[in-house]
Each structure stands twice: as C-alpha cells, then as structure tokens.
Amino acid sequence: MSSVDLNAVLARLTLEEKASLLAGADMWETVPVPEKGVPKVKTSDGPNGARGASFSGDVTAACFPAACCVASTFDVDLAHRIGAALAEETQTKGARCILAPTMCIHRHPLGGRNFESFSEDPYLTGKMASRVVAGCQDKGVAATIKHFAANEQETDRLSVDETISERALREIYLKPFEMAVKEANPMAVMTAYNQVNGHHADSNEFLLKKVLRGDWGWDGLVMSDWGGTNSTAASLNAGLDLEMPGPTRWRKPEAVVEAVKNGEVSEATIDQRVIRVLGFLKRLGCFEDGSIPDEKAINKPEHQSLIREAGSKGIVLLKNEKEILPLSRNKVAGKKIALLGYAKTGMAHGGGSASVNAHYRITPWDALHEALGKDVEFSYAKGAHTFRSLPCIDDGVVDLSGGKGFTHKIYEPGRSEPIEVEHGHPNSDISVLTFRTLDKSATLEGTYTAPTTDSYYFTVSGLGPSKLLIDDKLIYEQKENCRDAMGFLFGGAPAPEIKVPLVAGQQYKVNIFTSPPAPQEGVDLGIFAGRIGLRTGHMSAAEHDKDLLAEAVEVAKAADVAVVFTGHETFWETEGQDQQSFHLPKDGSQDRLISGVAAANPNTIVVNSTGVAVAMPWLNEIQALVHTWFPGQEVGNSIADILTGRQNPEGHLTCSFPKKLEDCPAYGNFPGEYDNGQLKVSYKEGVFVGYRHFDRLSPDKVNFPFGFGLSYTSFGFSDLSVRPAGDDFDVAVKVTNTGGVAGATAVQIYVGSASPSAEDPIKALAAFSKVSLQAGGAATVTLKVTGRDIASWDEKSSRWEVKQGEYKFMVGRSAADVALETKMAVGARSYDP
C-alpha cells in the first residue's frame, strides 16, 4: 500500500476542497484536487460484469452468471474465481472499484432485483458474497457490497419506508453484510435507496454508526446508491462518505460550508468523511498512479471457460421423469427435436445496472446444434408473444435531410427554435441518460414508409409529458409524468397501444415530442429531475395478432422430443420494478405454450430462465424441468452441457419455489400500502423468510424447496457425527455416489432446537460444502458450525444468544428433505454484536 500521509494531504485542503471530495464528479468518477495531490478513481457496474461507462456502448464486456446462479452452485471456490475474474474485467474498463456484489435477501418472489442477489438464506448469501469480495480484492480491485440495507423491493424504492424488527434485521437482512465485512473486509459499502424504520439508509445512524462502524468496527468507504443521497448534513453526520453520482445534488461545496457555519455539521465530521475517501484512494494505489486507462474489450478465453463452467454448475435439474434427460448423442441419434420459445434467445442476464453489452451471447439453438451435430433434426417455433413494449421504429424512416433515421431537435424552455439539430438519430427512442438534454425538451421528426398495408399498433411513453403525431394528427398524448420513472429507465413502463391503418408504400410524417417531468408538490424527482426520456414503438397487426401457439403445437407434434424454453427477458425481470405477475409473461402466453406442447408431445422438457420462482400450473404435464437462472454469455453452452449430459447437474435452489403466491411469508406485506402518499411496508413475517416460513407449513405448499436439486446420479449420506470444538462444532458425514456416473452435490447442514419455540425457526442453514465424487466413490466431509451461526438476536440484551438445550444437527438433501440427524446438548452462551 502507498506510504502517503493522509493527514498531511488533509491538512493541505481548504474546507471547500474537502467538500468537493465528498461527491462524484460525474456518473462514475470521483472528484480530484490535482493541485493538492488528490487523484480520482473510476467505478463501474456491476454484479455480473464490468460494463464500463456506457449502459449500451460499443465497448463489450464479459457477462458472468447472475448471483442467484452462482449461489446455486454452493461452491465458494467458484465464487472466489468469479470475483477474481470480475476484477480483471473491471481493470479493462479503466476502473478500480466494481459496484458488486448485490447481497440483499430474496424476501418475495416478485422482487424485481432478486436475480442480482444470491439467496433467500442469509448464511448462503454471506458465504458466497464473501468469496466474491475476496477474489475481487485479491486482484487489487475494490468490491462494493450493496445495498445496505433491506433493499428487497423495487416499488417506490427511492422512498418506501420499511418497518423491520431489530431481530429480523440482525438475523436475516444484516447478517450477510456482517459476514462479508468480517470475513472479506470489502473496501466499500453502498447504501440503499429505501428507508428503514423511518430513516433513509444514507442517513440512517443505526445502520451506519451503530452497526457498521460500531458493532462491526468496519473502516472502509460508504458511498450512496446512484441518486440515493437525500440530505446534506444528516447524511454527513450519519457516516455517508461519498455521494454518487456527480454532479452533486446535496453536497455543493457552498452548501457544505454553509452547513458547517450553521453548526449543522462539524468540520471534524467533514474531516472524517474526507479521510475515508482519501483512504479509499490510497488502498487502490491512486496516489502513485492516478491514471484512468481507456476502456477495452478483452475477451479472455479463461473467462469464457469459467462462465460456461459456473453457468452449467448453477443450473438446477428439478424434474426428470423416466430419465428423459440427458439427451445424449446415442439416445437421440436420428430423432427430431423441436426447440420452442426462447430457444434462439440467450437469456444471459437480468435488466438494469446488472446488464452488460456482452462480448457475445450463445443461444441454446446454436449450442445444441454444436453439441448434437448432424445426428438430430431440429425444428423451431416461437410459440408465444412475450414483448412488453413494442419495438422502436428503426427501419423505413428518413430524417429531414433525407438520410436514414430521425432528426433529433433539442429545445430550451420557452423557445420555439431548436438549440441543437441532429440528423440520423437511429431510432424512435431517446435515452434518459443523455446529459445534453437536461432541463430541455426534444422532438424526433421523420418520414415513415409503411412496408405493408395493415393496421399498425403504436405506443409512446415518456419520462415527462409526451405525444405522437402522424401527418400532424395527434395519435396519442401522455399528459402526466410517467408513474414509474425507475420502470421507465429500465424498459418496462406500460403504454396503451393505439391502432393506426397504414398503406404500403405511402409516406407518413412522424413527429414525436417529449419534455422533462413536470414538478409535483411534495415529490422529489431525484436523479430524474430535469431529464427527458422517450420510448416509441410500433408493430403491424399481422405480427402482433399472429397465432404463434398453433404453429408451435404443430411443430411439437412432428417431433420426437419437444424442448420449450421459457423465462424472463431483461424488460420483464429488471431493476427498477417488481414482477408484474407470479406467472410467466406475457398474459399467460408461456403457460399456454407449455400446456399446448405437452398435450401434443408426451416427451416435453421445459427449460426455464428466470432469477425468481414462478408459478408452474403445467408442472404435472411435462417430463422434465430445468431451471437455469441467468447463466451469462455462455448461456446456450451451459444449458446444452446439462441437456446433453456433458455436465452432470449439480445446482441446488437458492430460494423456495412455492405453488401459490398466497403462501409466501411476505404475502399481504409486499410491496406495502400507501399512507398519505407514502408507501410503507411492514416486515411482519420477521425472521420467517423463505424455508424458515415453509418449514411451519405442510410440504405441499412448495413445488420445490430451498436446497433442492436433482442429478443424473444419486448420493447417499451416512455416519453423521458432531463433536464440540470450543464454542463451535465439527460436523462430519460420509457422502457416497451411489449412481453410475460422476457427479457433485452440496452437503447442507441445518441446525435447530429439538424443541423450538413459536418465535424461532425450526432450523437454519449453518454450514455447507460442495463435494465431487466418481461413480461408486465416497468421501467424509467435515464442516465447521460456529456457535455464533446458531445464535439468535435477543432484543432485550442486544446480544447474540444460544439458548441452553438439545439441538438437532441435520444433513439435508434440501431444506424439506432431511437425510440424517443427530442431537446434542448445547450450553447457553452469548456473543457481542
């Protein structure tokens, strides 16, 4: 580490210069003070790839499996390797800090950002996240654990107020962060958008002062989520070191100086915040080398291999009747296989800040052709309409200069003449992230030629008031601000579809207008204030209304095996909004596709790509079910490896898959209720999240439990023993591969009181380990269960307490299937927070 004296640097700075360091310079970089020797540093999203500065730029990046897929491997060594690879990717983007991992809890299946996080279980989340952090920082790149804390929903995420008991906070929502802090010492923590018990996370003294800095003794950098700072003095006093992004909204140097003069914040507090920023720069070597290299797209073969391996090992085999899988060459040679649904789409990642412009994306269609060669005859049909927004207009339009595209005009408020005119704008959308349109309105103008005579559906939606005119006739006007700005940002804001008859070859003048969101009393628009965004779509009625299901059923009838690929595209499962439905989109189309195909072909296999549990009304109609999560850029190869048997399935579910939404623990308390315009949600389920809740219900409430996963082989467990080791316990169990092929399984150790009270979960995951065995092979696995990890938070003593009594130590094939158990008397003990 650098030998620079941070106190000497601090002493050279004026109060105004100190203040300037406490907010970003732009979207990704911090503010330097070069004349005083203070460098800057660049950050980059995100959890499954280092995207770089642009959300949709030309510089490509490696797309790794989503956290839910990584956690499904139950392989901490693999998580460490992924962390190291993410660091290498971050460096190719000129950054030294990656905004990852995301480690909030899967509280509810409709959580829009669940895919980006690891699990419903805090222990699994903490262990996997710790290894990602360690792998990343071993390479000299700062990891940023996020979002601290309790960011379990996207609905009104900038302002929602969550009421959570301290026990639930400590045992469920803070525990993964505590584990990562104590086991891997991340260089940075990012605060959440939401409020926790009446206080925004960025100014929440309980979270930042009491817990993070106090109880855990952590000394790194606290940064806000992007646009997640809500005050000047309060956030400074609570411990928020860095407001992101820049330019600042709350920490203009003059505002900070004024707060100091008024006694709202002391200069000593400012110095504390600045020292954290300087220390961050020092740990990253910025004082010795403050350069920010140009972004590069470096497609490393070793990253390709790692992504394929991790993606396939995270895939979970949920059903396999009559051993229809694997579709090995000798089994399917000479047969016809129908690949339906999303077979030609690589469902690599979810939407939002986890999206990357991947180096490439392998589709299942291409991968299965490569894997099975000419031995099989493949057929295809889409089978279901799944679009959320109509595609933008990018063909058949010319701008006002006669070139391809639209003419984009930008206007100052109150002026009729544009201040900027750009010809050749590629499509009918305007990105909300375009800075030059801040506090301005804009138009897109062009001439569209209809390719066929038909009725066409048009949609228009804007961040602020917007309208669409065709041949100077108003087609649709959005008079109000978008009701879901975050949803708009990430591609999912709904808009009505307006039918317009057009004639082939005829030219139509198109004019689209949009303006910034209108100010609303009592509403802080945050990062959306003054910004414009426009999304315009169209589709012919022939395409829009086509009966895709009938076509798919006919294709399935003619095949020996039908494989239906289902799931969520990025605009259905995304940051910025929670899931619309527990059922696969759109409007039941994918559910109908599966049922229709299964009725036509008795050998139907479903391959589902979502980061969350979904309803499965067709489960008893199909032969096999494979759940892939979002496996990254090698998605097709990872899936093909499982389907053909190249890789024996070894993934285990990281969240429970309930049959009905009504049986979920947070049902009725998600996403909350409005009280005088303020969304409030009470975490009334307390510590009973995920399997902790379902353990108290009858087994028929879930389709598949936490920890479940099938294999093409089988495993037996025997010789369970538990031996005290001080305050901890050494648990040993013999694992045997009792099947005919090599494979791997996760040894899951659950612990719970032999006489649990109504206030306590029946059991909780306390240790796990991945073991690989050849056919007929056996190994004794020894795991450490710490006393701290079987303790509960006592709100009266404010300590972790293990109650005296008899405890069950269980080996589970899943949370609902205990293979072995033994009991042990455990004495009372307590631990500091």
Kindly list the structural domains of the chain, giving each domain's residue range(s) and its CATH number in brackets, ordered by start: 302-380+559-701 (3.40.50.1700), 397-544 (2.60.120.260), 713-831 (2.60.40.10)
pLDDT for the residue numbered 3: 86
For the residues 109-125, what does the mean pLDDT come to?
97
pTM for this model (two decimals): 0.95
For the residues 320-347, what does the mean pLDDT come to?
96
Sign of dihedral through CA atoms 567, 123, 43, 196?
positive
Given a cut of 70, is residue 182 above it in pLDDT? yes
Q: How confident is the model at residue 481 (pLDDT cuts 50, 70, 90)?
A: very high
Alpha-helix runs per DSSP H in 315-468: 329-332, 364-372
pLDDT for the residue numbered 519: 86
Other CB atoms within 10 A of residue 472 CB = 7
User: What is the per-residue pLDDT across 385-428, written as a single tens digit (0 to 9) for each?
Assistant: 998 889 999 999 999 999 999 999 999 988 899 999 999 999 99
Return the DSSP state at 393: -
For the residues 799-811, what does the mean pLDDT come to?
97
Collapsing DSSP to helix, strand or coil, 92 comes out as helix
User: What is the per-residue pLDDT across 422-453, written as a single tens digit (0 to 9) for each?
Assistant: 999 999 999 887 767 888 999 999 999 999 99
For the residues 146-153, what does the mean pLDDT come to?
97
User: What is the per-residue pLDDT across 680-689, written as a single tens digit (0 to 9) for each?
Assistant: 999 999 999 9
Residue labelled with tokens 């559910």:
591
Residue count of the chain, please give it: 833
Other CB atoms within 10 A of residue 697 CB = 12
d(CA 661, CA 160): 22
Given a cut of 80, is residue 487 above it in pLDDT? no
For the residues 765-781, what does the mean pLDDT come to?
98
At position 148, the amino acid (one-letter code) is: F
For the residues 653-660, what does the mean pLDDT come to?
98
Given a cut of 90, is residue 91 above it in pLDDT? yes
For the residues 195-223, what does the mean pLDDT come to?
98
Average pLDDT, the chain: 96
pLDDT for the residue numbered 1: 61
Cite the beta strand spans of 738-776 per DSSP E: 743-753, 764-773
pLDDT for the residue numbered 266: 98
225 part of the active site: yes
For the residues 787-800, what does the mean pLDDT come to?
96
Residue 679 backbone phi and psi in degrees, to 5: -75, 125
For the residues 765-771, what does the mean pLDDT come to?
98
Given a cut of 70, is residue 318 above it in pLDDT? yes
Given a cut of 70, is residue 56 above it in pLDDT? no
pLDDT for the residue numbered 528: 83
Rounded to a whole number, what is the distance in angstroms from the first to the last CA of the chain? Answer: 30
d(CA 728, CA 829): 11
pLDDT for the residue numbered 711: 98
Given a cut of 80, is residue 459 above it in pLDDT? yes
For the residues 599-619, what does the mean pLDDT come to?
98
Q: How confident is the model at residue 489 (pLDDT cuts 50, 70, 90)?
A: confident
Stronger pLDDT, 494 or 625, i.e. the higher one? 625
pLDDT for the residue numbered 521: 76
Closest among 624, 619, 629, 669 to 643, alpha carbons compared: 624
- Secondary structure (DSSP) of 188-206: EEEE-SSEETTEEGGG-HI
d(CA 715, CA 778): 9
Sheet with 799-802, side-by-side order of all strands: 792-794, 799-802, 829-831
d(CA 761, CA 36): 56
Sheet with 764-773, side-by-side order of all strands: 764-773, 743-753, 805-814, 817-826
Q: Which of 75, 121, 225, 241 is catalytic?
A: 225
% of the chain beyond a pLDDT of 90: 92
pLDDT for the residue numbered 438: 83
Given a cut of 80, is residue 491 above it in pLDDT? no
Collapsing DSSP to helix, strand or coil, 15 comes out as helix
d(CA 561, CA 322): 13
